[in-house]
Structure 1
């Protein structure tokens, strides 16, 4: 089969699209004919090389994909050939103390397909059945591929970790990205007043179309100052920050007393300076979040499949042009997700 792959970490020139051995199907696995894959920023970080990351080379990237089941292992009962499925990339043991209590993202052996082990940007992928979710036949492949990681991540951040309520105010940073545009819609659908930041007016207009009540151009304005001004110096109840060092201080400044900031990543760096005085004096809560449980993923994706939430795809490229797809992410071009299609399907 053909697969996106790299044999060393580096810039986009390390990415190749070529022959790779066909996957083997174990008793608990499902063989999927991949129709589309989607990129996330973790694909960029994995390709560059994360501290402590020890990958089996060649590495196939990709945590998001969708396709048709072509074969199932002997012990699989949930799927059969012909089913449409999407990948849910979190892998867990199912046996540790956290898994026994349903907190799968806290599993001691938790890892993510495409980041810690070989991923799914290939013509075919053999995956544990528990890492697949059913997709209704009416949902197109690009939507099915682009939705799972970002919508389950944003759903857990807001509903499980931050426990948002109708009437609260939520600031979503980087609303033009995958997690950002998912979080914006989830907060709006929950009845929250949504503030969104993006880098230009085109992105802000689209954020408004998705449900943002207020839009702030962070390139032209100090978003923390704007939040204080627009809320009568109160601040917001919740900040969704997946940006990291570049925004962390202003995220804390944007919170109301008793507010909470929830984070799932740190695109600009994971070691920001923190004003601890502000945290204890204003009694702020800092919440971490990673991926989601199977139930949370199903809840979030059900609202994608029925059209409640929109997955915006900024561009679709053949898998042989995955390097260009990485460039789109790194250069922050456009709004929403980038999808790659196996060349034979494109």
Structure 2
């Protein structure tokens, strides 16, 4: 079968013929029709993950056919028995296990879920990892309630956009930040009330004046900008953190954190039960994942280049 293969770091991936997968134990074969890129895939190609092996087929998100049914894949393995956090054997699809950038994948049958009926292949492939991460951060960790005010930082990537869509569908008032006026405008089209350009001096004070305060803030960047969040919080607010791409937080004052009794909550992926709940919510509200571009599997390197520029709004998807 054809696959997009990582053979070395900092090099283009190879579109090549590899052996068909052979199921073992409880595994089954899914014929993939689309797979979505995640920032994780790009970071692996740059050597920013441990225990990278060669050759490898990357890809955590996929949609395809199993026994004549349209299905989407839970994008991880071995969450474990505790719903509160992942077990020691938990891992994301696409390193070290073979991922979705191929015509077929071997995966445990328990990872297979019915595809929401209102989605096409590209939209369905764009949903799993982003949807699951957004769902757990918003609802399991931050316990979002109808009518609350939510700030989603760094709008543009798959998780941030899906967080916006889920929160709007849940009846929240959602605001966003970005360095791009165009991305803020697109977020407003998806239901955001407004947004702030975090590159502008005093953006946080203007947002505070406009909104009054937030009950939930969702962030994946950390870094120096994180220090502005406690001042934007209402008493009892929750800050959900699902990443730290900008590194350590500097200049964070703890006084508003303890005085306003703010909770800072880390979140990673989610369990199969949360994945099932997310899919049901998406189908009920007919939420459509935002797809920025669809390219054939053979043009995977072009897709990675696009992801590396960080200028997309929504997911970059490979058709298979």
* Normalised-by-shorter TM-score class: over 0.9
Please, which moves more after superposition, 247-256 or 158-167? 247-256
Q: 1:316 to 1:205 in 2, by over 3 A?
A: same
Aligned-pair distance for 1:86? Answer: 1.1
Q: In the alignment, which residue of structure 2 is the partner of 1:46? A: 44
Aligned-pair distance for 1:58? Answer: 0.5
Please, which moves more after superposition, 179-188 or 105-114? 105-114
Aligned-pair distance for 1:222? Answer: 4.0
Q: 1:221 to 1:116 in 2, by over 3 A?
A: farther
| 2:16 counterpart (12, 15, 18) | 18
- TM score, norm. by length of structure 1: 0.86
Is residue 119 from structure 1 mapped to residue 99 from structure 2 by the alignment? yes
SS in 1 for 2:56: coil
Q: In the alignment, which residue of structure 2 is the partner of 1:83? A: 69
Is residue 193 from structure 1 mapped to residue 155 from structure 2 by the alignment? no
Cα deviation code 1:81-135 (max 9, x no counterpart): 11111111121164xxxx1x434x4212111011443211111111111222111
C-alpha distance in 2 between matches for 1:326 and 1:193: 33
Please, which moves more after superposition, 119-128 or 214-223? 214-223
Q: 1:5 to 1:172 in 2, by over 3 A?
A: same
C-alpha distance in 2 between matches for 1:319 and 1:202: 29
Is residue 92 from structure 1 mapped to residue 78 from structure 2 by the alignment? yes
Residue correspondence of structure 1 range 176-187 to structure 2 within 5 A: 176-187=156-167
C-alpha distance in 2 between matches for 1:34 and 1:222: 47
Residue correspondence of structure 1 range 324-339 to structure 2 within 5 A: 324-339=302-317
Cα deviation code 1:111-161 (max 9, x no counterpart): 101144321111111111122211155531111111111111111111110
| 1:262 counterpart (215, 240, 255) | 240
SS in 2 for 1:262: strand
Please, which moves more after superposition, 161-170 or 42-51? 42-51
SS in 2 for 1:328: helix
Please, which moves more after superposition, 152-161 or 24-33? 24-33
Please, which moves more after superposition, 257-266 or 31-40? 257-266
Residue correspondence of structure 1 range 1-346 to structure 2 within 5 A: 1-10=1-10, 13-51=11-49, 53-69=50-66, 81-92=67-78, 94=80, 99=81, 101-103=82-84, 105-136=85-116, 139-220=119-200, 222-232=202-212, 235-269=213-247, 271-273=248-250, 274-306=252-284, 308-342=286-320
- TM score, norm. by length of structure 2: 0.93
Q: Which runs of 5+ in 1 are unaligned?
A: 70-80
Contact 1:223–1:250 at 8 Å: present in 2 too?
A: no
Please, which moves more after superposition, 328-337 or 132-141? 132-141
Aligned-pair distance for 1:162? Answer: 0.2
Cα deviation code 1:270-306 (max 9, x no counterpart): x222333342233221101111122221221223335
Contact 2:198–2:204 at 8 Å: present in 1 too?
A: no
Aligned-pair distance for 1:320? Answer: 2.1
Question: Paired residues, what number?
Answer: 319
SS in 1 for 2:124: helix
Q: Which runs of 5+ in 2 are unaligned?
A: none
